[in-house]
Chains A and B, each alone.
Chain A
Amino acid sequence: MPSGAGRPVSETGLTPEEAHEVLQLLGTKPSGATDWRAGTVSAATLLAASAAAPRIVSMCRELDELLGGGVAVGQVTEFCGVPGVGKTQLGMQLAISVQIPAALAGAQGQAVYVDTEGSFMVERCADIADGAVRHVTAMADKQAAAGRPALAEALRSGAVAFDTPSLLRGIYCFRIHDYTEQLALVNMLPRFLQQYPQVRLVVFDSITFHFRQDFSDMAQRTRVVTAMAQQLITAAQNFGVAVVLMNQVTTKVLDNGTSKLVPALGESWGHAASTRVMLHWGAADNQRHAMLFKSPHLPPGDAAYAVTADGIRGLPRGSRAATGR
């Protein structure tokens, strides 16, 4: 007798409930597993897990709030923007701040940085690391002053290593020279993440570059890029890492003759990332802005940020009121 509750219903005239009972009496499990819950996860569990998973902060409060507390792990987040708006800076900042200790609600992980454009500047990254070390030390001192010296002591004794050399050792850089290497790397990513389980962030800076240079067959490009996106989504979920994709922008001519800047790689690429943010220059205040335009659960919004010597930060308090966002 073929298993499954559907057949007996039509062949024997039983109700689905009766059929289910018969199948259970016969010892045929509908799902073939001992626990009917196998293969499913309750939404309550998912909620608890996502609340427990630390976010990766950008060090700009407004931007983090826009993203619901920072870049989420287990998901793909895309940042697009014009050249010079700070995509690489943000990528480097995230690669550093993913290493913030758990005592400060950080992910305390490591980062993979995939550099396809040759823009990863290690000296700049060292500056951002210095800035983060200063920040974390100050936070630890503040905690100590408030009667919680645990972190300050851990930093001093080296139990929690948070200094520039160890931060830089926690960033694995891949320099990718063409799309063949990029596709190969994406194929190998699960294996790498298995070997380095401490990795919590994978940055692609940028995901676009090689696919805009030497692809003439657009249909093939779409197919390859979509498959790549799928692999990245799977890797993000399976290993609980945040995948951050930096995307370029391209000029699109609209029907009425005007043009506007849109993310590169086309419409179908829009499904790759669950969260998409456009980085742009504010027309009114000449500041850098981040605009959330796709998210499964957050409202669209806008936040101004600055690129400082120490990395990504919020605007100074005085100018924030003046910008009137």
Chain B
Amino acid sequence: MEKIILCIKGVPKPGTVKVDPVTHTLKRDSLELILNPPDRQAVEMAVRLKENYGLKVTVITMGPPNVIPLLKEVYGIGADEMVLLSDRAFAGADTLATSYVLAEAIKKMSPYSLVLMGLKSIDGETSQVPPETAALLGLPSITNVKTVLKERNNWVVLRQTEYGEEELEVEPPFVASVLPEAFDYLRPPSLKRLLEVKEKDPLVFTAKDLGLSSEKLGLNGSPTQVVDVFEKKFEAKGQVLEGEPSFLVEKLISVLEQKGLIHR
């Protein structure tokens, strides 16, 4: 059966982020993880394609074992197979080192006809991993994807950019990053599938299982290096006013007048 590879990421629940003062990377072990919100769109697209064309969905993620509940959540929504890429050596990876692991794992899952990812993660916000992984796989990549359809043996893709909407045709397989506004409705996990997945465990692959070169992994294998992190603090510098809305609005209007934005 034709297969879709769906890549997801566990991201720290906003507000729970801690940075390791020594390595300057995220402390991931202690975090509460949620499914990266833009990935939900990729999950929805995968499940719709599965329904329309009878494809099989393999969901894959890289991270410590505490991301397993997220794989199960996606299984609950409709994935058929779960894969976890987990190894201490992956820690601290930048986008290139992450894409390297993903690409090597995806190669092992051939044949497949489509790789889906969210447009970006809300923690790193780089949006680099989908095209980087595609380049490492030697496949075309298309970002900002709104719709994917099958036409004979090819994929037809609608891509939305600031310029407009493109209709593209591409030979399988390719890597798509899905637009955060692609779908209005995101189906929740089904209870039946959530019960089913309780008994299931993801396939786990380590660096050794995948035969990866250690010099390309994790923090040391990352070409970009954080040399400093600092918190930005603000000192109060302006006028602070408290009071009834009518008083505040009066003040605001007089400032807007002063700035020449309105004339009374």
Question: Do A and B belong to a common assembly?
Answer: no
